[in-house]
Every structure is written in C-alpha cells, then in structure tokens.
C-alpha cells in the first residue's frame, strides 16, 4: 500500500506518521525544519521517535538560547539529561545548526568553538561522534548542495587545524583516488 503524500492543508498527516524509516515524516517534513539524521538509527538505543524528536528539539533550543557563549552552550549541551544516551544527538544537532540555509546563526567559527569545547568536556564520547559525522557527510558529498559542501569542507578544515591535523588518515587513503 503506497503511503499517502503529506502536504500542508487537506492531507491527513496522522496516516503518514509512524510508518517507519521511509515515512513522510522522515522524507517530506524537512521543509518545516525536521532535522536531518546523519548518524545510524542503531545509535538511538531503542528510544522512540518522539523521545528522539524531543531531545533534538531541546538541543536545538539550547544552541539557539546560548548562542552568545559557546562555552556555556557546550556545558549545557553536555549536561542535558534525557534518561538515555544522547551525545550522538548533540553532534547531529550541531551539524543541523551548521547546515541551516540560507545562513547559519551563529557563525561557523562559533560552531567550531562549540565542538572544540564539547571535546574538552568529553573527548571520549565526542571525538568518535565527530568522526562518524564526517564519514556520514563524506558519503553524502554527491548529494549536498554546493553551499553545504563548502560549509562541510570549511568545518572539517577548521576542526582538524584546531587539533594539530590529527585524524585517522589511514582510513581515508582511498578518498584521494576518487574522481572529483
């Protein structure tokens, strides 16, 4: 049975919600600010879609409300308590904030400082999550808007320059052989 297309107005949105990964909620609601999922679903650890949505909303609000101080924002993000592991959602939330078009607010430099501070507070959790986020972005390079592609390259460049260019370069040797 094909899913009913969800559009603003007359369609019954309740029929599209909860039909799994390929539901209209996941595909069509990006226009109203539904956040992108970068990291694998298995990282959610069995939380419901509603719990995930509420946590992501709290993370987005925290980034917005504490945009005047990346240090305070990072401390708040790392200190959030939802009753389930959520650091992967923090990294996704930061990435969603970075990739907001037509322009991110605050700046990319602020976001890089936020990630740097989050690393300082919990490097064991955040470093692998950043690497997974970059891998997820790399897999989507062919589908990214040109502006988002530039933003991803800038974000990665700023990040590794702050960490003495330390990266798992051995895992990326095949990337140089890829066509442009």
Percentage of the residues of the chain whose pLDDT score is greater than 90: 41
Which residues have a Cβ under 8 Å from the Cβ of 147 and sit 6 or more positions away?
101
Residues 148-159 have pLDDT tens digits of: 888 888 988 888
- Check residues 21 and 116 and name the one with the higher pLDDT: 116
Between residues 111 and 159, the one the model is more confident about = 111
pLDDT recorded at residue 33:
55
The CATH fold assigned to 42-166 is 1.25.40
The C-alpha torsion from 35 through 37 and 38 to 42, rounded to 10°, is: 150
The pLDDT value given to residue 148: 84
The model's pTM is 0.75
**In contact, 49 and 82? CB cutoff 8 Å:** no
Q: What pLDDT does 165 receive?
A: 81
**Cα(137)–Cα(144) distance, rounded to whole angstroms?**
9
Upper half-sphere CA count for residue 106 (Cβ side, 13 Å):
18
pLDDT of res. 156: 87
Of 106 and 75, which is predicted with more confidence?
75
d(C-alpha 59, C-alpha 52), whole Å: 10
Return residue ranges of the chain for CATH 1.25.40.180.
42-166
| Average pLDDT score over residue span 52-78 | 95
């Amino acid at each position: 049975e094909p899913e009913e297309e969800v559009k603003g107005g007359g369609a019954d949105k309740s029929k599209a919600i909860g039909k799994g990964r390929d539901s209209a909620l996941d595909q069509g609601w990006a226009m109203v600010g539904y956040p992108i999922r970068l990291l694998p679903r298995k990282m959610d650890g069995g939380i419901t879609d509603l719990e995930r949505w509420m946590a992501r909303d709290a993370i987005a609000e925290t980034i917005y409300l504490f945009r005047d101080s990346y240090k305070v924002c990072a401390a708040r993000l790392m200190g959030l308590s939802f009753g389930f592991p959520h650091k992967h959602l923090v990294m996704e939330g930061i990435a969603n904030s970075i990739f907001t078009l037509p322009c991110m607010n605050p700046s990319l430099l602020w976001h890089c400082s936020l990630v740097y501070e989050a690393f300082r507070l919990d490097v064991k959790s955040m470093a692998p999550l950043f690497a997974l986020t970059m891998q997820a972005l790399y897999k989507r390079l062919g589908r990214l808007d040109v502006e988002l592609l530039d933003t991803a390259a800038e974000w990665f460049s700023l990040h590794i320059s702050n960490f003495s260019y330390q990266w798992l370069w051995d895992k990326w040797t095949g990337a140089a052989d890829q066509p442009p």
